[in-house]
Amino acid sequence: MRFFRSSRAGVDPISGEQARAAEEDVRRTVSATERTRRGWFGRMSGVFSRSSIDDELWDELEEILLGADTGLATAEHILNQLRERASAGQLRDPDAVKQALKELLVDLLKGQESHGGKLWSASAGADPPPPPAIILVVGVNGVGKTTSIAKLAHKYVQDGARVMLAAGDTFRAAAIDQLREWGARVGAEVIAQGPNSDPGAVTFDALTAADARGADVLIIDTAGRLHTKFNLMEELRKLRRVIERKYPDAPHEVLLVLDATTGQNGLAQARTFAGIIGVTSILLTKLDGTSKGGIVFAVTDELGIPVRFVGTGETVDDLAPFVPEDFVDALFAE
Ligand SMILES: Nc1nc2c(ncn2[C@@H]2O[C@H](COP(=O)(O)OP(=O)(O)OP(=O)(O)O)[C@@H](O)[C@H]2O)c(=O)[nH]1
Ligand SMILES: [Mg+2]
């Protein structure tokens, strides 16, 4: 299984088809960051076209970073490092600041790469877990969990994996149908029970089925829940225990889906979900619909959770692996 290796992840594509897939992923990322780039990083060129490094440059840079929702702590963190290097005489002109900023942003994102769950670590060369690989998908209402599960399943199926989906969102009847429809479209079997059934029971069934039928990947959908609702968050803990009882090593990934358009609130969501059930990676949706893509930096810098995927639109192909260099390059593209 490819686990979405990209050429930039340090693994050379071994076939022309994979090379083309990696190129297509970059194209999606560039296209999805269009608004963020125009909205504020676009203003960067103005900042760096001045003739020397002065106070206004730092002020404008701070304003731009904050405007893109990097958050205050992360903006300060970045600016302090740049300022220090400028005072030490390492950055002589605005263009040098720009290059240093790009490098810093990439480093910041790459610093967390190894902190992901077992599954994405597999793409970095570590041994993948024995199948079934179990991915628990969580997040607040409407962020794009179910659609993203379909996109992920589609990628895995394309990679030749046998994929199963568990309809753990039993709260709404429509949610079960939605997952069934996606499953049929992407070629993944869906394990479901009736509306209002116990998500723990559905998950248990799905684990048994995945085992019995030799699934490579099991992705578990869950109901959207506000991170501030204690009972619903407790339910997730219970779900996790159901999984751990059958597979002590699992879930191999707890994927938190965040909606990029919610900006800083996403940070609060990530903090709570991480505290309650542990989050190994983030999938950031709707990057195509926001000028606030800077949330990527805040989440990585402040919470140390790596972003693994970005949602770049509403079709099943609109998912790209998150590659720090490609993302930063896309932000600074002229
Ligand atoms: N533009 C865009 N829309 C997206 C993306 N991901 C999801 N959506 C849309 O977001 C809406 C909600 O998606 P769902 O997958 O149903 O969200 P959910 O988190 O499962 O929602 P609940 O189960 O109700 O909590 C749908 O209209 C999706 O098409 C994306 O990357 N870009
Ligand atoms: Mg859903």
pLDDT of residue 10: 40
Query: What's the 3-state SS for the chain?
Result: CCCCCCHHHCCCCCCHHHHHHHHHHHHHHHHHCHHHHHHHHHHHHHHHCCCCCCHHHHHHHHHHHHHCCCCHHHHHHHHHHHHHHHHCCCCCCHHHHHHHHHHHHHHHHHCCHHHCCHHHHHCCCCCCCCCCEEEEEECCCCCCHHHHHHHHHHHHHHCCCCEEEEEECCCCHHHHHHHHHHHHHHCCEEECCCCCCCHHHHHHHHHHHHHHCCCCEEEEEECCCCCCCHHHHHHHHHHHHHHHHHCCCCCCEEEEEEEHHHCCHHHHHHHHHHHHHCCCEEEEECHHHCCCCCHHHHHHHHHCCCEEEEECCCCCCCEEECCHHHHHHHHHCC
pLDDT of residue 41: 64
Mutate to test the pocket of ligand 1, among 171, 255, 290, 314 (most ligand atoms within 8 A of CB): 314
Q: Judge if the beta carbon of residue 141 lies within 6 A of ligand 1.
A: yes
Neighbours of ion ligand 2 (CB under 5 A): 145-146
Positions in the chain whose pLDDT score sits under 50? 1-13
pLDDT of residue 209: 97
Q: What is the pTM of this model?
A: 0.90
Q: Name which residue sits closest to atom 7 of ligand 1, judged by CA.
A: 144
Q: Judge if the beta carbon of residue 9 lies within 6 A of ligand 1.
A: no
pLDDT of residue 7: 35
Q: Name which residue sits closest to atom 26 of ligand 1, judged by CA.
A: 144
Cα 319 to ligand 1 centroid, rounded to whole Å: 12
Q: Judge if the beta carbon of residue 234 lies within 6 A of ligand 1.
A: no
Query: What are the tens digits of pLDDT across the range 187-232?
Result: 999 999 999 999 999 999 999 999 999 999 999 999 998 878 888 8
Q: Judge if the beta carbon of residue 288 lies within 6 A of ligand 1.
A: yes
Mutate to test the pocket of ligand 1, among 28, 140, 147 (most ligand atoms within 8 A of CB): 147
pLDDT of residue 195: 92
